[in-house]
Structure formats: C-alpha cells, structure tokens
Amino acid sequence: MRTEVSIGVPGSIGPEAVRVLAPRVEAAGFAGLWLNDGAAADPLLGLAAAAEVTTHLRLATGVVPVDRRPAPQLFADLQRSGVPEARLTLGIGSGQLRQGAVDAVASAVGWLREMTTAAIMVGALGPRMRRMGAERSDGLLLSWLPPEVAAAQAEEARRQGEPAQGEQPRIALYARAIVDEAARPALEREAAQYASYPTYAANFARLGVAAIDTTLPRSGEDLAAGVAAYEAVDELVLRAITPTGSLDDLLAFVDRAGELLGE
C-alpha cells in the first residue's frame, strides 16, 4: 500500500482563493484537498469551488464540529453547496462538547450515512472516539501524532472496524508541515497553540510526545523522509504552514511539496 498524500489549508481562505489553489493541488499530483472548518469559514463553499475547477481531486472537510453544525444542518448545507458526493469526504468531530461527545458524533455519523453517499470520517483523539469511528464510520482522521503512534492507532482501528463494517476503515492523518524555513516560527506558534488546549494537552501528555515533534519535517529528516515514515496510514494530509498564510504562500507550498515528494 502506498500512502496517498493530500494538502490541507484553512477554509477561511475563501472560495475564490480555493478556485486558484485547487487546480494547482491536482496538477501537482496530490490525492485530495482538505479544508478546515471554522466559525467564519464554511469548507463546503470552498470545496464546491474546487469541484468546479478540478476533475478527480478528492474533496474533504477537516473537521466540521457537530456541536456547532448538527448533522441535519450539515446535510442541508451540503445539498445547497452542490459538492459532488462521489468525491467528498465529510470529516466531523465533537467540537467543544465535553459531555456525551462520543454519543453525539456517533448519532451524527449514523444520520449522515443514511442521507449521503459521501464518505464519513471521524476526527478522533481519545480511544473511545477512535473505536466508535472505526466501528461506525468510513474511517478516522487522526492528528498531531508521530509516526510510531500513528501506526499503532491505525492498526488498532483496523482491527476494531473490520468486523463491524466488512471492510477496514480508512485512516487519514493531519500533519502540520513546512517547506520553507521562513515558516518555522509560524509552525512553532501553531504547535504551542494546540499544546495549550486542554484536550490536546491531555492527549500529548497521555502519549508522552510534544506537539512540535509531530510536525514535518522532523529533526534530521527532509520532507520526503518524514512523509515516508507515515506508511501505516492510508492518507497523509500535509496541513500547509507558511510564513504568512497568503494565497501566494500556499501556492508556493503546493509547488515545492510536489517537487520534494515527486508527486
């Protein structure tokens, strides 16, 4: 199995920027484009724009929180957006829920699988959410993991998911990445920000890893070697971290990452 490599960017860049970026991602040979959700960003609008200017690029949300956008609303928004379901992966997660998070996401998974043919993947940190996602959804979206932990969690999820689904769940992983040393301060800020969130801080402590040590390229490695270390997952999403986050920077990231990886 060859791990597919995709690109992830903030949905906040907007549909017009996505319209410019998506063809470049496809031309560079990447498998998919993932757009982050946010309070001021609707990834479905960006993915609709991407669908209009690409032919086969996988389109994905990473991830829509069900506390802010319940499944019926998400499905209605999907229908209005016109994103082709055959190319779509809906990544969903618990958002800010602290009580009943697993049950809430499980309910959303069940509802959406009845209503859409799009793939449904669960953003998961803890073991209960990972098990539920492996058993009930089409796969998991992991994040902030070093290769050895990603491999262990992927193996565990495939064992848990196969009996329930008749096939193994797809495992994707978000990895923050840079291709320009000028972006390292931004990468370090991103890692520090996530390490300050209680849920992520608890997960890093549980795993015994530092956030910055899950980013790419890792110390002593180039990007290609860092990507190759994640061979246990089905899809590695390079979450592009650039010096300014501008469209020009993102285009440069895609071009340079494609060159380094030979995509």
Question: pLDDT per residue over 208-229, tens digit each?
Answer: 999 999 999 987 789 999 999 9
Domain that holds residue 188: 4-261
Does the pLDDT at position 258 exceed 80?
A: yes
Q: What is the pLDDT of residue 190?
A: 97
Q: What is the pLDDT of residue 161?
A: 85
Q: The CATH number of the domain where 249 resides is what?
A: 3.20.20.30
The count of domains in the chain is: 1
Does the pLDDT at position 234 exceed 70?
A: yes
Q: What is the pLDDT of residue 165?
A: 53
Going by pLDDT thresholds of 50, 70 and 90, the confidence category of residue 17 is: very high
**Mean pLDDT of all residues belonging to the chain:** 95
Does the pLDDT at position 166 exceed 90?
A: no
How far is Cα 8 from Cα 61, in angstroms, rounded to an integer?
Answer: 9
Question: 139: which residues sit within 8 A by CB, 6+ positions away?
Answer: 119, 121, 122, 133, 157, 161, 169, 170, 171, 172, 234
Of 45-54, 71-80, 113-122, 156-165, give the lowest mean pLDDT range. 156-165
Q: What is the pLDDT of residue 95?
A: 92
Q: How far is the CA of 170 from the CAs of 6, 94, 167, 182, in angstroms?
A: 14, 19, 9, 34
Going by pLDDT thresholds of 50, 70 and 90, the confidence category of residue 260 is: very high
Give, rounded to a whole angstrom, the gap between the first and last alpha carbons of the chain: 16
Going by pLDDT thresholds of 50, 70 and 90, the confidence category of residue 170 is: very high
Q: Which of 262, 228, 217, 236 is nearest to 58 (CA)?
A: 236
Greater model confidence, 165 or 231: 231
